[in-house]
Structure 1
Amino acid sequence: MSIKFLAEDDRPREKFLLKGRNSLSDAELLAIIIGSGNRDESAVDLCRRILKSVDHNWHNLSQLTIKDLMRFSGIGEAKAISIAAALEIGRRRAAQEVPDRKRIGSSAEAFQIFKPHLSDLQTEEVWAVFVNQSNKVLHLSKMTSGGITASMVDVRTLFKTALEHFATGIFLAHNHPSGNLKPSEDDRRITKQVSEAGKILNIILIDHLILNQTSYFSFADEGLL
């Protein structure tokens, strides 16, 4: 549905979904927080008026008290608290440093990431770490449990997750509860399948690890990738 056919109060949310958060004006972002306007104004119009009163400056808006905000028609206590809470979240975010992502430089370092999740399990699970071009961790996720076969590891889901996190590389891992680290034919087959699929999407399978409680087997270290 085109945005122009939507009710005024629904447009910021729909615009957010259709075009992304960067497409919204300050008034539209604030309108999403308050949800609705008053009898004479839409949420967006009300927020334009609120922002105009503080010279369209978020810092100035954060200086308003709950009572100050409630002086605007359509802003009750609940909406005023929602605005104040959102601004406080923004203040705390700005005060924090961007966390440094862990970089994986070897199979041993990958093993240390996977070990807490896989080493003590009694059933097989498949996990993946998705990394950027610098091999810095973007996301860690369990992909499946119960086995390591083509039917159990959905390659489409694996690469869908990689694309969602803008990953350029994948470290794959699964455990052998028996303790035997020798790769099975299924292990080799799924490794090849993931590696070949990644070449099409330009997302590299950097390594595939098989873990037991104390050690691991690396396809990359053994030259099997």
Structure 2
Amino acid sequence: MNLPYEQKITIKAWAEEDRPREKLLALGRRNLTDAELIAILIGSGSTTESAVDLSKRILYSCNNNLASLAKLSVQDLSKFKGIGEAKAISIIAGLELGRRRKDTEFSNFDKILTSKDAFDLLAPYFADLLHEEFWVLMLNKANKVLHKSLISKGGQAGTIADPKIIFKAALEHNAANIVLAHNHPSGNLKPSQADLDLTKKLKDAGKLLDIGVLDHLIFAGNSYTSFSDEGHF
């Protein structure tokens, strides 16, 4: 016989040593597992399993990879028994806060001296995206970051990067140099011929405006390809 809603297995009903909230208070947040942290977000499990067990099941479906978990939608998470829309939203919101925290850690970047500098700065913006986006870093003559601009969003197969919009943004921020970046949701780091043609077109246009196009990065997961490092510049 199913238990009534009020008798679902809440965190308060667990043995004290199994309560992640109390464990966090007593031992600190770093002593909690990923499943225990997610259990705090969702608060309760179902009639047949605790929130921690439910969290373990969700993580297992993602190969215990938080980056894969962050890609799940409300609809995906709601397919798990015990996860309704509200709990799914709590999980997504918690992971998004973590992503934004990482974003702010790079907000005080000084100069872009290598492709890795540009990757570290822009990686939080491309994390977990299932569609393509095109971004541009605006730099001064000393390659200090002036601004980051999202130029366009597209689908899984591509996005449109209009040179007029790119250089309008560069001129508005008095950029002396720019770095181009977009992602490949497919995971393929190899630039397409369209990527190469666009980069050449933008480099040529930049010369006319005295704005240097220093690099073009392709993001895929936790990796990237730099056109400059690969000799395309």
State the TM-score, normalizing by the size of structure 1. Answer: 0.53
Contact 1:103 1:137 in 2 (8 A): yes
1:165 & 1:138 partners in 2: Cα distance?
Answer: 7
- 141, 148, 151: which one aligns with 1:143: 151
The share of aligned pairs that are identical, in percent, is 47
Contact 1:130 1:139 in 2 (8 A): yes
Residue type of the alignment partner of 2:192: S
The equivalent residue for 1:209 is 217
Contact 1:102 1:137 in 2 (8 A): yes
2:157 & 2:205 partners in 1: Cα distance?
Answer: 16
SS in structure 1 opposite 2:164? helix
1:190 & 1:147 partners in 2: Cα distance?
Answer: 18
Gaps of 5+ in 1: 1-98
Q: CA deviation at 1:205?
A: 0.5
CA shift in 2, pair 1:223/1:152, >3 Å:
same
CA deviation string 1:158-200 (max 9, x = no partner): 1011111110100110000011100001111111111110000
| Matching of residue 172 in structure 1 with residue 189 in structure 2 | no
The equivalent residue for 2:163 is 155
Contact 1:150 1:186 in 2 (8 A): no
The equivalent residue for 1:132 is 140
Q: CA deviation at 1:154?
A: 1.0
Contact 2:133 2:159 in 1 (8 A): no
The equivalent residue for 1:223 is 231
1:148 & 1:198 partners in 2: Cα distance?
Answer: 28
CA shift in 2, pair 1:207/1:147, >3 Å:
farther
SS in structure 2 opposite 1:189? helix
Residue type of the alignment partner of 1:211: F
Whichever of the two has the greater Rg, that structure is 1
The equivalent residue for 2:38 is none
Instruction: Please give the root-mean-square deviation of Cα atoms over the aligned residues, in Å.
Output: 2.2
2:157 & 2:185 partners in 1: Cα distance?
Answer: 15
| Matching of residue 196 in structure 1 with residue 204 in structure 2 | yes
Residue type of the alignment partner of 1:178: S
SS in structure 2 opposite 1:174? strand
Residue type of the alignment partner of 1:204: G
Q: CA deviation at 1:119?
A: 3.0
CA deviation string 1:119-158 (max 9, x = no partner): 3200000000000000000010100011699981110111
Gaps of 5+ in 2: 1-106
CA shift in 2, pair 1:100/1:210, >3 Å:
closer
Q: CA deviation at 1:101?
A: 5.8
CA deviation string 1:70-91 (max 9, x = no partner): xxxxxxxxxxxxxxxxxxxxxx
SS in structure 1 opposite 2:218? strand
SS in structure 2 opposite 1:217? strand
State the TM-score, normalizing by the size of structure 2. Answer: 0.51
Residue type of the alignment partner of 2:134: V
